[in-house]
Structure 1
Amino acid sequence: MNTWSDEPGEVAVATNDAEPDGAAEQQEQALGSRAPAFVKDRRILHLSWQVGIFVVGLAVVVAGVIMLPLPGPGWIVIFGGMAIWATEFVWAQLVLRWTKRKVTEAAQRALDPEVRRRNIVLTSIGLVIIAALVGFYVWKFGVVMPWKIKDQ
């Protein structure tokens, strides 16, 4: 038997009551506003709640974008802003679900022994190239900072 959300304006994921406990797939949380019931019941209050959530989320996302070139956890802050938006907006919830799915898939691929082996080999080759370049620099110029090298 399938069940659907009866609340207006909310979209819910169908659940199958016939599934046994411990089913392979967990049911995802329903999409829609997570505002308290007294806020949802009053249109003006709900609209101002959504504006407030949007402004706070926007401030966090902008701070994350600023942190991308500067020191700081830019992507984490951006995803934090998206999580703030996801408390109220369905589009942000869908973006976060897609992002979580992609991150999980990438983590699974990264844990694959063949991929790990390839990454270790590529990292080792990169380190050997960097060591060769540093060795050549020290052989050619000695231990001198690049801005102190005179035309030779």
Structure 2
Amino acid sequence: MSVADNLAALKRRWARWRDGLRARPAAEFTYRIVVGVVGTLVLAVGIVAIPYPGPGWAIVFLGLAILASEFDFAKRALRYVRARYDAVMAWFDRQHIAVKGVSAAFTGLIVVGTLWLFGVIGWSAGLVGLEQQWLKSPIGLGS
């Protein structure tokens, strides 16, 4: 069997499974609630992760894709967000190196600020004997 045949068989099995759920309203309702909760949680994690280096936007798209598997509003939102993301990335690619440098510095500040807030910087400084009060977290974490 080819990959295309395997994918087609998987789609048919998935469609039969979903048809079975539709035949049982309580099961379909429960399934949609679970998809909504899981998709929303993944989306929320992605939104929090956007300003940090790493897969923040990929997590956002994954959360929207999970939601879009059951909800029409999420399909529209996924198309819109993806188009806006592509437009912003195309704009960013055309920018001068100074704009890209400021963006990298801003990302670095967010990372350092988060590390400071959660007490990682104060804790690390204490490990090497550079304990300073201003390095400690203002919310008392990591002390």
TM-score, normalised via structure 2 length: 0.47
- Return the index of the structure with the highest Cα Rg: 1
More helix by share: 2
